[in-house]
Chain A
Amino acid sequence: MIRYLGWRLLHAIVTVVVAVSLVFIAVRLLPGNPLLARFGQHPDLKQIEQLRAQYGWDQPIYIQLGQFFWQVLKTGDLGNSLARSHVSVNRELLQRIPATVELTMAACLIAFPLGITAGVAAAVWRNRWPDWLCTAGSLVGVSVPVFFLGICLRLIFSGLPTSQRLPADVFDFEPLTGLFLIDTLLRGRPELWLAAVQHLILPAMALATIPAAIIARITRAAMLDVLAADYLRTARAKGCSLWRSVWRHALPNAAVPVVNIAGLQVGLLLSGAVLTETVFDWPGMGTYIASAVLGDKDYVAVQAGAIVICILFVTMNLLLDLVFVWLDPRIRLGE
């Protein structure tokens, strides 16, 4: 187990290094000079050149990359933002990660039960209206752009807030963990807990649609395979009820691909749901990285975001592998 974990960790580190290197090079190929933006209508080319040298951008790219990794390994410091040069991106990301985590968890809370239930229902009533409904719903779920869905949700639930995490006039609330649903309760502010839920519900619904649709399709396919198995027919013949056989026998055996896809979805959502966060002004990693790429050309922020995303993604994959081993004893470590 330890040897397996060691190999997996090594694999994860190599993945992160390669991914970050690619991002490091890619952001430098983006059109636009991030330093020009800071001088607005009055660019001073001498100052810009001085700053380029200060950031080490006049060095060959492999030296820049080496220096970046060395700095990260030595100090853990991912650098200072280019758009806001006085601020460390470590601090900026730490402020935003909880918002993304909270939104992801809320979306999972909607997507998993919805997707699994819909997939099971579609498989049990194959070629009947629940199946058609699930198939059509999942097709719509993966097809509808998030920004359009956001507009629709705003219109349908016009009484709910459509941006930020708390009402704008709340300024006496100090977060503890950054997860507002927890912090509001820890601070003894139930009225703010309700407000936090209200602010969370629409972006979470928008974010849940694609994973719910994908999980529904995978669950349906996995359940159809399992429902056709002999042992289930035997269980039904011996008097086991339909739903007992489905929930107790079929679903656990169909769980491996479902858990796999669900885990990948969590990884993807944690990577910063750029569109959803942007549509709902959700102050998470997605909006931070999007504005760093599109608005500020902030190399440093993009690199830092890439590292965090890679680590989250790789960690999720590692956890998934361990869950598989637990779920299915036939899966042998290292195979």
Chain B
Amino acid sequence: MLHRLALLLWLLPVLVLLTTSGCSRSAPSNETLIYAQASDPKTLDPANTDIAESVHVITNVFDTLVTYDDLRAELVPSLAERWNISDDGKTWTFTLRDDVIFHDGTQFDSAAVKTTFERLTAKEHPLLFDQARPYQSAYAMIEKIDTPDARTVVFQLKSPSAIFLTNLAMFPASIVSPTALKAKGKEFADAPVGTGPFRVVKWNRDQQLVLQSFDKHWRGAPAIKNLIIVPVKDNTTRIQRLMRGEVQLVDSLAPQDYDAVKKTPLVLLEQTGMNVSYLTMQMDKPPLNQLKVRQAIALAIDKPTLMKIGFDGHAEPAVSMVPPGMWGHDPSLVDHPFDVAKAKELMQEAAKEGNFTLPIQLNLSVMSQARPYLPQPTSMAGFLKDSLREIGIEVTVTGRDVNEHFAHLMAGRHELGLAGWSSDNSDPDNFLYQLLDPDNISENGNNLSRFRDPKFHELLLAGQVEMNLAKRLPLYHEAQAIALRELPVVPLAHTQLRAVHAPRLTGFNLHPTGLIRLGKAKLTSEQPETKPGASP
């Protein structure tokens, strides 16, 4: 009896396996879109996050006063119908739409806008439940917000700001429902209420986040009725699930999966991202204060080879910190060539002038974890080490946890450092001012190279207050030319954004800003012909 029982127990898993492994899946629904992300969002409160997985959800749950055009990074009206700017550039008056309601049924009005921005800027706010506000500084120019009536909001700025409107299109400026904030308290972060095309229905942590179409959305109800967002950590698993029809959209592909995906009927979307990876050189530390040393380093880096080693060939070599295709980028800039002989000459000259002997020892700080703009930081560090040895620079590489790494760089404790930046908005100021202006030299400033150029600073300050785009553009072109000449950093690469989706998904494009907007997406009944044996 006992051994029969043991046999049955032994066979049970096998029986289950045999009876269940052949079960077919039901036909996919046209109303339900399943989108696989690399991880679960942390919070859905726009004020408290800058994590991409959270942002992708927030973008579909909320609207902003102004937004980006569907295809380009150009600003268009959204919850604000129109706006006026005073002659001194300090008073911005927005007229709001009157046909907008929040998911909880309350009317969208100027009070909601005021609450949203006060949560972002006030030192303390009763409706702010987490003090970590990564984008607080982006709205620091706001001095006062007035609401003369329900449809009018007046922003009084401390000084004119050409980037204010762009910052209003960023996700932290998503308009939140004050009623829901009061009702839900800190739970708002798990079940937020906005005016966007989708409303949050349910969130099973680390399993699925269920959104449903908001039928009363001011742009009309989305075609997708149910939007389900699932976390799938492993890159290959995400693609496999897409191939099997379990999900219809994935992002954050590993470079090695691109070529495999191209062999399948899946649709691969590619878009140059608003990001840059770069080598920062701490100019307060000799010999990096010598232009010739920085020039030699720039000349010693073979960028085409670096693209293969650090990015598997899936990135664009960078000339400027401002990515190509973005407004403000100067396409006429010519990069420093790869010229080891010239680099060696410059190093020898620098050694005489600086009174040091070759080879010199420099430390290169690098983050331990991959970033979207630096998928393989350790390989890149190794390549740079080998490249610089050729010109008489012995590099020691020090890896750190990514947050510690940036704290180390911001404090200026590095000599050389690998860094990068993903833009928050579509303005060159976000790259040039944030990363290279002397105003941002501090313990938590992003000018890691300690670059202090009065002319450069003057150009950027002028750019921040110049409202006329035609006059603004040359200011940024000149600033980029200065950065290329003075070389506080060596721009390395701009990585591409990528997403893959099932062929039956239409009406979705990968936005240059990296936003995943699904309000206009549709699923058709066409079944893709999957190629047998295709697997990443």
Q: Which residues from chain A contact B148 at a C-beta distance below 8 Å?
A: none
Q: Which of B5-44 contact A (CB under 8 A)?
A: 6-7, 9-10, 12-13, 16-17, 20-23, 25, 28-29, 32, 34, 36, 39, 42-43
Is A44 a contact partner of B228 (Cβ separation < 8 A)? Answer: no
Is A41 a contact partner of B421 (Cβ separation < 8 A)? Answer: yes
Is A171 a contact partner of B202 (Cβ separation < 8 A)? Answer: yes
The number of chain A residues with a CB under 8 A from chain B is 66
CA distance A114 to B7 in the complex (A): 9
Q: Which residues from chain A contact B7 at a C-beta distance below 8 Å?
A: 117
Q: Which residues from chain A contact B2 at a C-beta distance below 8 Å?
A: 247-248
Q: Which residues from chain A contact B98 at a C-beta distance below 8 Å?
A: none
In the complex, what residue of chain B is closest to A157 when comparing beta carbons?
Answer: B21
Is B403 a contact partner of A36 (Cβ separation < 8 A)? Answer: yes
Q: Which of A13-21, A85-93, A261-269 contacts B (4 or more CB under 8 A)?
A: A85-93
User: When A110-B13, A171-B210, A247-B3 are in contact, do A163 and B404 touch as well, CB less than 8 Å?
Assistant: no
Interface size class of B (residues with CB under 8 A): 35 or more
Is B246 a contact partner of A168 (Cβ separation < 8 A)? Answer: yes
CA distance A149 to B407 in the complex (A): 39
CA distance A243 to B208 in the complex (A): 50
CA distance A21 to B424 in the complex (A): 41
Is A281 a contact partner of B231 (Cβ separation < 8 A)? Answer: yes
Cβ distance B489 to chain A, nearest Cβ, rounded Å:
16
Interface string of B219-258 (1 = CB under 8 A from A): 0000000101011111001001100001100000000000
Residue B354 is within 8 A (CB to CB) of chain A in the complex: no
Is A47 a contact partner of B130 (Cβ separation < 8 A)? Answer: no
Is B233 a contact partner of A160 (Cβ separation < 8 A)? Answer: no
Interface string of B348-370 (1 = CB under 8 A from A): 00000000000000000000000
CA distance A146 to B60 in the complex (A): 37
Is A171 a contact partner of B226 (Cβ separation < 8 A)? Answer: yes
Interface string of B396-434 (1 = CB under 8 A from A): 000011111011001000000000011010000000000
Cβ distance A147 to chain B, nearest Cβ, rounded Å:
9
Is B131 a contact partner of A159 (Cβ separation < 8 A)? Answer: no
CA distance A193 to B20 in the complex (A): 11
Q: Which residues from chain A contact B422 at a C-beta distance below 8 Å?
A: 41
Is A36 a contact partner of B202 (Cβ separation < 8 A)? Answer: no
CA distance A278 to B38 in the complex (A): 12
User: When A41-B50, A281-B237 are in contact, do A33 and B403 touch as well, CB less than 8 Å?
Assistant: yes
User: When A50-B131, A86-B43, A279-B234 are in contact, do A32 and B401 touch as well, CB less than 8 Å?
Assistant: yes
User: When A92-B205, A109-B13, A168-B247 are in contact, do A41 and B190 touch as well, CB less than 8 Å?
Assistant: no
Residue A37 is within 8 A (CB to CB) of chain B in the complex: yes
User: When A84-B43, A197-B16 are in contact, do A36 and B407 touch as well, CB less than 8 Å?
Assistant: yes
Residue B137 is within 8 A (CB to CB) of chain A in the complex: yes
Is B34 a contact partner of A169 (Cβ separation < 8 A)? Answer: yes
Q: Which residues from chain B contact A297 at a C-beta distance below 8 Å?
A: 401, 403
Q: Which residues from chain A contact B43 at a C-beta distance below 8 Å?
A: 84, 86
Is A47 a contact partner of B210 (Cβ separation < 8 A)? Answer: no
In the complex, what residue of chain B is closest to A85 when comparing beta carbons?
Answer: B130
Cβ distance A196 to chain B, nearest Cβ, rounded Å:
10
Interface string of A154-192 (1 = CB under 8 A from B): 100101111111111101000000000000000000000
Residue B51 is within 8 A (CB to CB) of chain A in the complex: yes
Interface string of B450-462 (1 = CB under 8 A from A): 0000000000000
Q: Which residues from chain A contact B187 at a C-beta distance below 8 Å?
A: 86
In the complex, what residue of chain A is closest to B401 when comparing beta carbons?
Answer: A32
CA distance A287 to B2 in the complex (A): 38
Q: Which residues from chain A contact B495 at a C-beta distance below 8 Å?
A: none
Residue B136 is within 8 A (CB to CB) of chain A in the complex: yes
User: When A168-B34, A171-B202, A194-B23 are in contact, do A44 and B10 touch as well, CB less than 8 Å?
Assistant: no
Would you give 22 A-B contacts (Cβ < 8 Å), ordered by A?
A31-B404, A32-B402, A32-B403, A36-B407, A38-B134, A39-B134, A41-B421, A41-B422, A42-B50, A47-B131, A47-B133, A86-B187, A86-B190, A87-B190, A96-B206, A109-B13, A159-B23, A168-B34, A169-B226, A243-B3, A279-B234, A281-B233
Q: A85-B130, A168-B247, A198-B21 are in contact. List 5 more A-B contacts (CB 8 A).
A: A39-B134, A86-B186, A159-B21, A160-B20, A279-B234
A residues apposed to B, CB below 8 Å: 31-33, 35-45, 47, 50-51, 54, 83-87, 92, 95-96, 109-110, 112-114, 116-117, 154, 157, 159-169, 171, 194, 197-198, 201, 204-205, 243, 247-248, 278-279, 281, 283, 287-288, 291, 295-297
B residues apposed to A, CB below 8 Å: 2-3, 6-7, 9-10, 12-13, 16-17, 20-23, 25, 28-29, 32, 34, 36, 39, 42-43, 45, 48, 50-51, 129-138, 186-187, 189-190, 201-202, 204-208, 210, 226, 228, 230-234, 237, 240-241, 246-247, 400-404, 406-407, 410, 421-422, 424, 443-444, 446
